[in-house]
Amino acid sequence: MTRNPEPDITEGARNQGKGLNTNRPGQQCPVAGEHSHGNMSEYQIRLYKDSDYQRVREIFADGITEHTAKSFHFSLRLPRIWAVFLLTFFVVLQTTGSLLLSIVAVIIDIGVLFLIHKYIYMHYVRRCLADDMSDIHKYYLQRDGYCFWVAESSGEVAGMVAAVPIHHPGGEKQVELRRMSVPRKHRGKGIAKALCRVVIDFARKGGCEAVILETSYPQVDAWRMYEKMGFKRSRAFYVPTLITRFVGFEIFCYQYDLPAKR
Ligand SMILES: CC(C)(COP(=O)(O)OP(=O)(O)OC[C@H]1O[C@@H](n2cnc3c(N)ncnc32)[C@H](O)[C@@H]1OP(=O)(O)O)[C@@H](O)C(=O)NCCC(=O)NCCS
């Protein structure tokens, strides 16, 4: 069996060719509980319900596309990108003899670079929204070993996270943490950490050996949060397409080993 056919800026390459079985019997989605953060607003973590659908999809899309600018700025630091700018400048200068046209050509290069980053994120969002996020209830709540939770604060969705079971051919069971996102106004209250704990707990109760996840280079807040939770970076790789590799689109894999494995 194969994993769900998700595209990917943040998923996919890691599991290529491992023959994963995603259908693990016997684990039900648990309801999580209530939390508070100092004197700040309280929130509770509960299972996803259909009335969350629209908001959850918006939070997911916003949480991914907000990284476009950071990712673009990162690629502006790459020497190969500057080599392309310089090449454009001199080729246009050589062929037209116009300094103005050469500068305009470089500005167009920069615009194209930004659009590439925008496309990478939007493409990923579009594919996810059409895949597992198109029928969240069916995908995550009607299959053993899968789950989807939301954090709720004052009646609104204040965060989300999903769990997907992964069976390796050697018998190792893991849970993949996915779709972690907290809207800006609810950040810094410990919601992501609480959602993380829910997934870790879910994996532990399901007898899994680890929780794994993938995140991309610009998602600095996310990797700080995962590292704070005890996740260790296991490896990094470039999404294997020419363009993503060229613009330096790197994926970081994280793993949290559960006590049975430690
Ligand atoms: C990453 C994200 C989920 C964090 O949500 P959050 O609810 O604000 O996180 P928490 O309040 O639980 O913070 C957890 C820890 O992360 C770190 N952290 C979070 N935001 C940070 C920031 N802006 N700067 C530095 N550290 C940060 C801190 O160490 C924090 O722990 P502390 O409060 O004990 O210092 C949120 O920023 C988000 O949704 N980002 C966009 C979507 C995304 O990148 N998702 C990850 C997909 S893999």
56 lines ligand 1 (CB under 6 A): no
Q: Which residue has the higher pLDDT, 41 or 185?
A: 185
pLDDT, position 183: 97
Q: Is 205 left (phi over 0), alpha (psi -120 to 50) or beta?
A: alpha
DSSP 8-state code for residue 11: S
pLDDT tens digit string along 197-226?
A: 999 999 999 999 999 999 998 899 999 999
pLDDT tens digit string along 42-80?
A: 899 999 999 999 999 999 999 999 999 999 999 999 999
Residue 158 in this model has a pLDDT that exceeds 50: yes
Ligand 1 centre distance from Cα of residue 252 (Å): 16
Closest protein CA for atom 42 of ligand 1: 63
Report residue 183 as tokens: 């809207």
Ligand 1 centre distance from Cα of residue 126 (Å): 24
Helix (H) or strand (E) holding 32: none
For residue 64, give the ligand 1 atom closest to its CA. 42
Residue 193 in this model has a pLDDT that exceeds 90: yes
Ligand 1 centre distance from Cα of residue 150 (Å): 16
Ligand 1 centre distance from Cα of residue 90 (Å): 43
68 lines ligand 1 (CB under 6 A): no
Helix (H) or strand (E) holding 71: helix 68-75
pLDDT tens digit string along 245-259?
A: 888 888 999 999 998
Read off the pTM.
0.84
For residue 191, give the ligand 1 atom closest to its CA. 7
190 lines ligand 1 (CB under 6 A): yes
183 lines ligand 1 (CB under 6 A): no
185 lines ligand 1 (CB under 6 A): no
Assign 8 a pLDDT band (cuts: 50, 70, 90).
very low
DSSP conformation letters of 117-164 = HHHHHHHHHHHHHHTTTTSHIIIIISSTT-EEEEEEETTEEEEEEEEE
Q: Which residue has the higher pLDDT, 75 or 31?
A: 75
Assign 37 a pLDDT band (cuts: 50, 70, 90).
low
188 lines ligand 1 (CB under 6 A): yes
Ligand 1 centre distance from Cα of residue 132 (Å): 24
Q: What is the mean pLDDT of the chain?
A: 87
From residue 255, give the alpha-carbon distance in Å to each of 82, 181, 194, 222. 35, 18, 17, 13
- All domains of the chain in start order, with CATH: 13-67+127-257 (3.40.630.30), 68-126 (no CATH)
Residue 129 in this model has a pLDDT that exceeds 90: yes
Ligand 1 centre distance from Cα of residue 51 (Å): 26
